[in-house]
Chain A
């Protein structure tokens, strides 16, 4: 699947994983530091993903 990362905006391919939590673990991202968005909807960690999904991992930490 395609994963959109931010700061700066870029895309990476992640294969062989089927849940949000497994993607976050593979990319070494703490779940509470991002929103996971697919087609404008928020996804929970347990959400099932398809190989052709495009998901955005949007960081929520800001410098103020």
Chain B
């Protein structure tokens, strides 16, 4: 099969676009998709200071590379979660090293926030003590700490590496449960609130995760290939498996599902955001007296 652009030997086929690309033109294609997402959803304004949440995985490192190539100045923040691993593979340590190597090779600024040092617990400890699914306490901690890091650094937006598969899986999970409040909040741009929620943007929304992985391989970006050892019980992966079976039979199904929602249906689910107050403990926005992260922190100290 030949590259759609130059007719040279193709390295990857994207079935939903019915197109194949050589390494050079696939890279151009991926960059264009990110550029289009930023423009279509008005994600970034000129002069915005951007902070990217990086995990050491394919999505965040591909996005950091693409945004840099597009000329955006983007700093990174890595959250050290304290997750060990299988045999001698220390998951959090290895992931952090991929971020550090990527940043230092390109002269980019990377902040490391260590959950254990700053807040006194790791994700495995929090999951054990609260008897919650690890992904639940991890998601809560990431949302809180990344928002706080962006506020502390006076950034204009927090950039996240959620891709087409991530967003389609989240939407499908919420549709299957008819979680209308969560459905109404799903958008590639989440506005800032006066109470202290930083604006959040997701420029990878037009790229599938196979494409961000391919981008890394074709551009010499080393990333954490192993899956998080605490992923068991993550419902998002089950949604992705179902969507991939659908996509195999009907290429483009994931894109049509997500973008059909965003372009034609999302207005119908838009609801008033819940009234936010200020957490009496930390000052971040919350719906109650004390935010969920501070309640977790208090419980871990007890």
Contact = CB atoms under 8 A, between A and B. Distances in A.
A42 B208 CA distance: 16
B225 to A, nearest CB: 6
A21 to B, nearest CB: 11
Interface in B67-94: 86
A61 B1 contact: no
Given A7-B226, A35-B210, A61 B241 contact: yes
B225 A6 contact: yes
B262 to A, nearest CB: 19
Contacts of A7: 226-227
B12 A42 contact: yes
B234 interface: yes
A37 interface: yes
B28 to A, nearest CB: 16
A6 B226 CA distance: 7
A61 B57 CA distance: 11
B115 interface: no
Given A8-B86, A44-B12, A63 B231 contact: yes
Given A7-B226, A33-B244, A46 B218 contact: no
The A interface is mostly helix, strand or loop, or mixed, namely loop
B214 interface: yes
Interface string A40-59: 11101110000000000011
B185 interface: no
Contacts, number: 74
A60 B217 CA distance: 12
Contacts of A13: none
A62 B236 CA distance: 9
Nearest to B166: A64
Contact of A35 (B20, B217, B240, B244): B217
A61 to B, nearest CB: 5
B244 A30 contact: yes
B248 A61 contact: no
A35 B214 contact: yes
A37 B213 CA distance: 11
B227 A42 contact: no
A-B residue pairs, 8 tightest by C-beta: A63-B231, A60-B213, A60-B210, A63-B234, A42-B11, A60-B209, A30-B248, A7-B227
9 contacts: A7-B227, A30-B244, A32-B244, A32-B247, A40-B217, A44-B20, A60-B213, A64-B135, A64-B236
